[in-house]
């Protein structure tokens, strides 16, 4: 009996050591993916609009404009950043990319309407209705819209992850960091970002994940765009838009 009890405790001790090792390795992996995203943004993400090197395309990442009845400040600050870039002459056009999977939820239209209300010309706003995730937005900017280089427009934590994906795709980029929320207001988004960075690394390095929709090339109103000579002028993505309006999602800080 004593021998059996001793053997059981040895197994418990061994299991505990393996569990501890697993937690250490998992923590190290999470830290590694976080550092990988941060390194992708080093020296290329800017907090002041005057420091942003001019690029042909501003790539604006979608989120909902409302959380319940309240304005979503992540959305508000991203729109502010996009307007600042346009007014400073840092971009030739704005590619607004977001989720439109549901009939009454349309992030690209939300962003377009907000930009129009701020005086950005309609002709320089291009909507991508298939930006379902950060990965989709970045890959489609390169492969569908043929953007030669972009300014990533979102909060810094999101820009870092987008930068990692852009680098892996060979898309030239800089980023303009929209104003962030205070830690106590954005803690849920920051917690979600931990998992998003792990998925970012797995998608790029292991799973070779691509966007849900690709399709034919789409036009951007920039100098030297490969479709300029064709005379195509309708700035819509290959995924058709659905009706605008309806109840917003409980989203806050950015695509997965």
Instruction: Say if CB 173 and CB 44 are below 8 A apart.
Output: yes
Q: Full-prediction pTM beyond 0.75?
A: yes
pLDDT (tens digit, 0 to 9) for every residue of the chain, 256 residues total?
A: 456 677 888 887 778 888 888 888 888 888 888 899 999 999 999 999 999 999 999 999 999 999 999 999 999 999 999 999 999 999 999 999 999 878 889 999 999 999 999 999 999 999 999 999 999 999 999 999 999 999 999 999 999 999 999 999 999 999 999 999 876 666 777 788 888 999 999 999 999 999 999 989 999 999 999 988 665 554 454 444 444 433 334 345 655 6
* Strand-pair category, 91-97 with 125-128: parallel
Which CATH number describes the domain made up of 39-230? 3.40.50.620
CB 251 within 8 A of CB 64: yes
| Residue boundaries of the structural domains of the chain | 39-230
Q: What is the pLDDT of residue 91?
A: 98
CA distance 85 to 126: 15
């Amino acid at each position: 009996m004593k021998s059996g009890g001793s053997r059981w405790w040895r197994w418990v001790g061994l299991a505990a050591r393996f569990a501890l090792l697993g937690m250490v390795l998992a923590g190290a992996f999470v830290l590694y993916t976080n550092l990988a995203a941060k390194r992708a943004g080093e020296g290329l993400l800017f907090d002041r609009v005057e420091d942003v090197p001019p690029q042909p395309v501003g790539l604006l990442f979608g989120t909902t404009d409302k959380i319940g009845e309240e304005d979503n400040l992540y959305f508000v600050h991203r729109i502010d950043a996009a307007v600042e870039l346009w007014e400073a002459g840092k971009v030739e056009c704005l590619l607004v990319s977001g989720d439109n999977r549901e009939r009454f939820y349309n992030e690209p239209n939300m962003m377009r309407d907000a930009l129009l209300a701020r005086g950005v010309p309609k002709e320089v706003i291009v909507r991508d209705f298939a930006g379902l995730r950060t990965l989709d937005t970045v890959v489609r900017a390169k492969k569908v819209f043929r953007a030669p280089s972009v300014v990533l427009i979102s909060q810094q934590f999101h820009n870092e992850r987008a930068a990692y994906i852009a680098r892996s795709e060979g898309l030239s980029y800089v980023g303009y960091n929209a104003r962030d929320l205070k830690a106590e207001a954005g803690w849920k988004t920051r917690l979600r970002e931990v998992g998003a960075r792990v998925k970012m690394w797995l998608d790029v390095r292991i799973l070779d994940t691509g966007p849900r929709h690709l399709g034919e090339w789409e036009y951007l109103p920039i100098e030297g765009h490969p479709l300029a000579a064709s005379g195509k002028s309708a700035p819509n993505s290959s995924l058709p838009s659905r009706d605008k309006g309806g109840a917003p999602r409980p989203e806050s800080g950015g695509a997965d």
